[in-house]
Amino acid sequence: MNVTNYKPLTIKTMETTTLFSSHGEVTIQTPHGNIVEHNADSDSYINDVERFDIAEYNDWFFRRYGFQPDLAELDILELGMFMKDGSYEKPNEFRYTIREELEKDGRLIAHPLNK
């Protein structure tokens, strides 16, 4: 073995993002949406979530705005949720309300084909 050509094995660490809600906070693995840990009220719906639908949100956001979102700037309600009982909760209408407000005041501009 030639030691001069040795390259150490690079292990990619898990990337995480913490999402916030009025019911608590959740740290998820990105881009998969798997929950790493959460600190939620004992009666919160967050305790029933298996994982968050990050792929759907990234796709929706990219088609609307033409760039990938900063996940640290979103609310849990903007995401679809795969529940522990096997059901799926669609994103809350809050997603559209908050994005419309950001578009109206010019902080976020929709792609011209998606207005």
- Domain hosting 49: range is 3-110
84 pLDDT higher than 90: yes
The percentage of residues in the chain with a pLDDT greater than 70, rounded to a whole number, is 85
* Residue 6 pLDDT level (bands cut at 50, 70, 90): low
Domain membership of residue 38 (yes or no) is: yes
Residue 115 domain-assigned (yes or no):
no
Q: pLDDT-based confidence at 68, cuts 50/70/90?
A: confident
Count Cβ atoms below 10 Å from residue 10 Cβ, excluding itself: 5
**What's the domain count of the chain?**
1
The tokens describing 83, both together, are 């529940």
Identify the band that residue 33 occupies on the pLDDT scale cut at 50, 70 and 90. very high
* Mean of pLDDT values over 31-50: 91
Give the separation between CA 71 and CA 10, rounded to whole angstroms.
Answer: 25
